[in-house]
Structure 1
Amino acid sequence: MKVLISVDMEGISGVVHGAETQPDRYDYERGRALMTAEANAVIAGVLDAEPGAAVWVVDAHGPFRNLLPEELDRRAHLVRGKPRPLGMLGGLDEHTDAVVLVGYHARAGAGPAVLAHTMSDAILDVRVAGRSLGEIGLNAHMAGALGAPVVLLSGDDVACAELHELLPSALTVAVKQALGQAAAVALHPEEARERLRRAAAEAITRRAQVAPLTLAGPLDVEVDLHSPVTADLATLVPGVTRAKGGRTVAFTAADFAQAYRLVLLLVQLGTIKPG
């Protein structure tokens, strides 16, 4: 079997501030070490349950070059770097049997929630078929579109609740309780890792109890953008139109995979500044 572990950074135990998640900030090295250690705990749990599993670990934060390759469990394959197909789910395919989301955070506007956002600061909200989705919902639906259920998520308590709204039968591990955008009561990192290892083994053992999350197309999508310039650029993409207001764009996708890829493109357009 193949298990894909997508690892973000904001939802790692002990991480509460942007300085711990950005490569040019003083506390980043601690953040990436904590991130790598939690990834290793989940790898170990997956292999406790299925010793023969093929485990793919996806570096899914920022530059996608955060996990320390030399410190990662050598039994896993590491998906690293960008740009790449499917972004935070790089390596996902129709052969993937289960997906685990580690270190995830709540969607933009949720709160109090630690470092809540959706994909990047360029995106204020994504609504698919009328439902607001953050990274958790977008990635869970993308995995489901290829037949893979999200069986486990870790992050703060708000992120865990966000997954449970979508997949009540999935397991979650709250490694911290959010107090605000940059504050939380966190488990000791070693305690968090022990809980993650146990939960990963249980999640893989009971994976058949979690159905893939799916949405049938065509799908109407609206995206609220931070910058009107990004909206201007987005309307250059065939099929994307300006919706209500100056910073909302809309499109109709044939299926969720197409919707997901267009959202990833909008994120990249958000990095372009006026000439």
Structure 2
Amino acid sequence: MAIKVLISVDMEGIAGIVHPAETNPERYDYERGRRLMTAEANAVVAGVLDAEPAAEVLVADSHGPYRNILPEDLDRRARLIRGKPRELGMLAGLEAGARVVMFVGYHARAGVSGAVLAHTIGDAVLDVRINGASHGEIGINTLLAGSYGVPVVLAGGDAAACEEFGTLVPRSVTVPVKQGLGQHAADTLHPQEAQDRLRQGAAEAMRLHADNPPVLVSSPLHVEVDLHQPRSADLAALIPGATRRGRTVVFDAETMTAAYSMLQLIVLLTQIGP
């Protein structure tokens, strides 16, 4: 049976991208960002299929509205998951039997020095701690994949994101495509060079995936979410099972899927206007 590979593609960690004007659908340079994001997704699809020609490849558009990758420009050998809301958010497709996960265009968690466009899920979140350990999207999604028994074998993004991932998954393949100089500045590879390296990295990751175990976390899960604004904590505390402690909202969950759903809901509530 052909192996199913899920490629989760975010935008802030794409080569050449350094500013929200390139990642926000309402800003002037977004169309260039979409093209660069699609091209890196294609590079990883190609690398997977270089190593496993019979693989079934799913690409999950995982930035903002989840409607960024240009469907007509995506490698036709892959299927595209787009749009929201989705129960598994950035890892939609995991529930469809994926056995390998790869991260493309990922960024470091909120507050990391020298990381490009660093944040955790949304601008309202300062930190997420699961059983006491601080995690950004890299860690949260790695634990979610692990709860399904699936390893994450590749991460592409800025150097800080790759370091964050490599610490969590030491046997993985990382492909740094830029070095952060600040929140909105980087020393970046040429997009084509980045794409070539991602293709090679994806092929290597596929060849090594059997040696890369899933990352597991013990249940029950105790989750703490630090929020930027007191009003955000007010809203999040309205969710059954959530408790507010100052600007921190805490809750317990039996599974990573349940914790992930709660985190998505908290972030959605923080985006509600006055």
Q: TM-score, normalised by structure 1?
A: 0.97
- Which one-letter code corresponds to 2:259 in the other structure? A
Give, in whole Å, the separation in 1 of the partners of 2:239 and 2:108: 28
- Which one-letter code corresponds to 2:267 in the other structure? V
Give, in whole Å, the separation in 2 of the partners of 1:192 and 1:126: 30
Q: Which runs of 5+ in 2 are unaligned?
A: none
Give, in whole Å, the separation in 1 of the partners of 2:193 and 2:238: 49
Q: Deviations over 1:116-157 (max 9, x none)?
A: 000011211100011110000000000111111000000000
Tell me whether 1:259 sits opposite 2:256 in the alignment.
no
Which residue number in structure 1 is paired with residue 218 of structure 2?
Answer: 216
Shift of 1:189: 0.7
Give, in whole Å, the separation in 1 of the partners of 2:192 and 2:81: 25
Give, in whole Å, the separation in 2 of the partners of 1:94 and 1:22: 29
Q: Which runs of 5+ in 1 are unaligned?
A: none
Match of 2:146 among 127, 144, 147: 144
Tell me whether 1:178 sits opposite 2:184 in the alignment.
no
Counting aligned pairs with the same residue, the percent is 62
Q: TM-score, normalised by structure 2?
A: 0.97
Give, in whole Å, the separation in 1 of the partners of 2:138 and 2:97: 21
Tell me whether 1:30 sits opposite 2:32 in the alignment.
yes
Which residue number in structure 2 is paired with residue 98 of structure 1?
Answer: 100
How many pairs align? Answer: 272
Contact kept in structure 1, 2:142 and 2:152, CA below 8 Å: yes
Shift of 1:94: 6.3
Shift of 1:230: 2.0
Shift of 1:242: 1.1
Match of 2:169 among 147, 167, 170: 167
Q: Deviations over 1:54-83 (max 9, x none)?
A: 100000001111000000000000001011
- Which one-letter code corresponds to 2:271 in the other structure? T
Q: Alignment RMSD, CA only?
A: 0.9
Shift of 1:213: 0.8
Moved more, 232-241 or 23-32: 232-241
Give, in whole Å, the separation in 1 of the partners of 2:43 and 2:273: 40
Contact kept in structure 2, 1:12 and 1:38, CA below 8 Å: yes
Tell me whether 1:10 sits opposite 2:12 in the alignment.
yes
- Which one-letter code corresponds to 1:257 in the other structure? T
